[in-house]
Amino acid sequence: MPTIPIYQALADAFVAEGADTLFVLTGDGNMHWEVAMAAHAGIRSFHVRHEHCACAMASAYAVASGKVGIASVTCGPGLTQIMTALATAAQAHIPLVVFAGETPMHAAWYNQHIDQAPLVTACGAHYIASHSPVQMLNQVRNAFFIARTRRQPVVIGVPLDLQQQMIEADAGYLPSTAFIPDTGPMAAHPAYVAKAAALVGAARRIVVIGGRGVVEAGAREACEELADRTGALLASTLPVRGLFDHHPHSLGIAGGFSHHAARARFAQADLVIAVGASLTSYTVDGGSLFPNATVLQIDVAPNGLPHGRKGADHVLRCDALEGVQALLAALPPEPRSVPEWRTGDLAVEMAGVADVADYTVEPGTHDPRTVMAALDVAIPKDWEIVNASGHCSFFSAQMRGRSAEHFLAIREFGAIGNGLSYAAGLAAARPGRPVVLIDGDGGLMMHVQELETLRRHGLKILICVLNDGAFGSEIHKLRADGLSDHGATFGRGDLGAMARGFGLNGEVVGALDRLPALVEAHERGDQTTIWDFAVSDRVISPPMRKTMAKQKART
């Protein structure tokens, strides 16, 4: 049997697991493995400037491609850099495998040594310390098996001296997919379907909320049929925003980011049917969105206590499509007419601005709502949209008529600074597709070094910055408490000039009527573009107003 270095065998096993795209920053702990990976035909490696971004890009790649995301970092300081991205991936149930080195097994001392396992497990990820040459490839299979079946990030640590040892080349590696049982779709229990049908029969004002499970199961049309049969309205969670936008009785987003017209309807709902949605605190807006509704949940993994709050009143534990179809079969075949609930003017109301509060903006600044409305008109409806974080994300989430498949938002763990990485991961997953990132100035600046990565790898992204010159989320809360906002205000530098400094395109956008021409210019170009919109820091989003009201009530 010929022998090869362990790092080579490890790379071969990753490729056998279907790895095709790698996000990496190299050091002693992973450089040999990375070169062995890159030597495989068909592997694309994105070399980034900060390990956090490798992990965050791989996360977005996994979400956008449906594959396991692959990132790699070196041992010690490389690994400690990815804590935030790892925790986010764990909370978002993103399948990820991170190849990390470990410091040498046989050294008396190594300056980069740290106990890696507790760092990784504290983030909610799984750690595999791979120290046995005999088990080395089995551990790669275990890592991918766990990532795929538990939807959990896994870090494999292999000591860098061990990586150089020789093992027999194994041509018969069987990937983890060969071991995942095919259980078929999960069907609903008939007795529970009958009870669900009775709940639906007794309700008059129903809202069907679709989540990620609807997209994954291909249950969108079935949900619409359920709504049309029962005279219900439709809504979606934020991650699949736009799911029912084309439907005349859609309320858009359910949750803290709801349109004011949707919020008023939700308050009157007497039954919410949550399909493939885990009823997070975001979706139920901390429990305040539909206080008068009974909740029926159709989900493969219903949780009775999501985010510390009561989950559903009745549950169908099954796939989204199976459950909705079973419920439809148990309901009267004739569509029910509920004219007082399905009023004709909903679509007109929803087409209006999501928040109508009156604010006067300072001269030389835009109202972020006006910017987003203009962008929504100027940017073609089928472009990929990445929603980032910060106060401004309320405004950017309000774009309409864009399908859930072309929208990416990973909000778990609540970190800012991921927008660029998520847009890059999405662009890597969908080559040739136009990608738009809408981010705040603070979020963009946190990992601005990745602009260089975008340029070097030719990733073309349109970055729209809602630039309030501040950490908006902080200044509004500080002001509500009567405290100085000096530590969260930075002023509005020229982010267009900054982009040009990176060899990209960019400008400060004043007159919004230039947007159609600017979209055309971006389409013609072959580089990332930054549009810097100076937005007022006086316009406050509804969720922020709610937070501020709570702060004021406290004092």
Q: Does 323 bind ligand TPP (CB under 6 A)?
A: no
- Angle in degrees, 0-180, between the axes of helices 31-38 and 6-16, rounded to the nearest 10: 50
| Residue at shortest CB range from Mg ion | 440
Q: Which is nearer to ligand TPP, 415 or 508 (CB)?
A: 415
- Cα Rg of the chain, angstroms: 25
User: Segment contacting ligand TPP (CB under 6 A): 115-123, 266-274, 357-365, 412-420?
Assistant: 412-420
Binders of ligand TPP in range 65-84 (CB under 6 A): 84
Taking CB under 6 A as the criterion, the residue among 78, 255, 472, 496 binding ligand TPP is 472
Binding to ligand TPP, residues 26-65 (CB under 6 A): none
Q: Please, what is the Cα angle at 233 between 232 and 236, to 5 degrees?
A: 130
Does 470 help bind ligand TPP (rule: CB under 6 A)?
yes
Strand partners for 210: 236, 275
Residue 140 in contact with ligand TPP, rule: CB under 6 A: no
> Is residue 531 part of the contact set for ligand TPP (CB under 6 A)?
no
Selected range binding ligand TPP among 234-242, 283-291, 404-412, 466-474, rule: CB under 6 A: 466-474
Residue 473 contacts ligand TPP per CB under 6 A: yes
Letter string b/e over residues 422-442, b meaning 16 or more CB atoms within 10 A of that residue's CB? bbbbbbbbbeeebbbbbbbbb
What CA–CA distances, in Å, run from 31 to 8, 23, 74? 11, 13, 8
Among 181, 333, 414, 491, binds ligand TPP (CB under 6 A): 414
Q: How far is the CB of 488 from ligand TPP (least distance, A)?
A: 7
Residue from 442, 496, 506, 542 in contact with ligand TPP (CB under 6 A): 442
Residues 208 and 235: their CA atoms lie apart, in Å, by: 6
Name the minimum Å distance from CB 115 to ligand TPP.
24
Confirm if 227 and 325 have CB atoms less than 8 A apart.
no
Site track for ligand TPP across 216-255, x = CB under 6 A: ----------------------------------------
Q: Does 485 bind ligand TPP (CB under 6 A)?
A: no
CB of 368 to ligand TPP, least distance (A): 8
Q: Which CB, 311 or 469, lies closer to ligand TPP? A: 469
| Site for Mg ion, rule CB under 5 A | 440-442, 468, 470, 472
DSSP three-state, residue 246: coil
Q: Choosing among Mg ion, ligand TPP, none, which partner's interface includes residue 417 (Cβ < 5 to 8 Å by kind)?
A: ligand TPP
State the nearest-atom distance from the C-beta of 25 to ligand TPP, in Å: 19
Which of 67, 263, 366, 391 is the binder for ligand TPP (CB under 6 A)? 391
Helix (H) or strand (E) holding 35: helix 31-38
Q: Is 440 in the site for ligand TPP (CB under 6 A)?
A: yes
Q: Are 294 and 195 in contact (CB under 8 A)?
A: no
Indicate the helix (H) or strand (E) that contains 34.
helix 31-38
Identify whether the C-beta of residue 22 lies closer than 8 Å to the C-beta of residue 70: yes
Residue of 29, 78, 252, 390 that binds ligand TPP (CB under 6 A): 390
Give me the helices (H) in 248-345, please: 260-268, 320-330
415 scored as a contact of ligand TPP (CB under 6 A): yes
Question: Which ranges in 398-505 belong to alpha helices (H)?
Answer: 419-429, 441-446, 450-457, 472-480, 495-501
Q: Return the residues of window 100-119 that contact ligand TPP according to CB under 6 A.
A: none
DSSP letter for each residue of 116-131: HHHHHHHTT-EEEE--
Q: How far is the CB of 101 from Mg ion (least distance, A)?
A: 37
DSSP 93: T
What distance, in Å, lies between the first and last C-alpha atoms of the chain?
Answer: 75
Between 392 and 426, CB nearer to ligand TPP = 392
**Residue placing its CB nearer to ligand TPP in the complex, 470 or 480:** 470
Q: Which two tokens stand for residue 389?
A: 């974080």
**What is the spatial distance between Cα 314 and Cα 405, in angstroms, rounded to a whole number?**
29
Number of residues that bind ligand TPP (CB under 6 A): 19
**Measuring CA to CA, how many Å separate 146 from each of 50, 65, 142, 343, 425?**
26, 18, 6, 48, 22
The entry of ligand TPP, Mg ion, none near residue 170 (CB within 5 to 8 angstroms by kind) is: none
Separation CA 231–CA 221 (nearest Å):
15
- Which residues make up the interface to ligand TPP (CB under 6 A)? 84, 390-392, 414-417, 440-443, 466, 468, 470-474
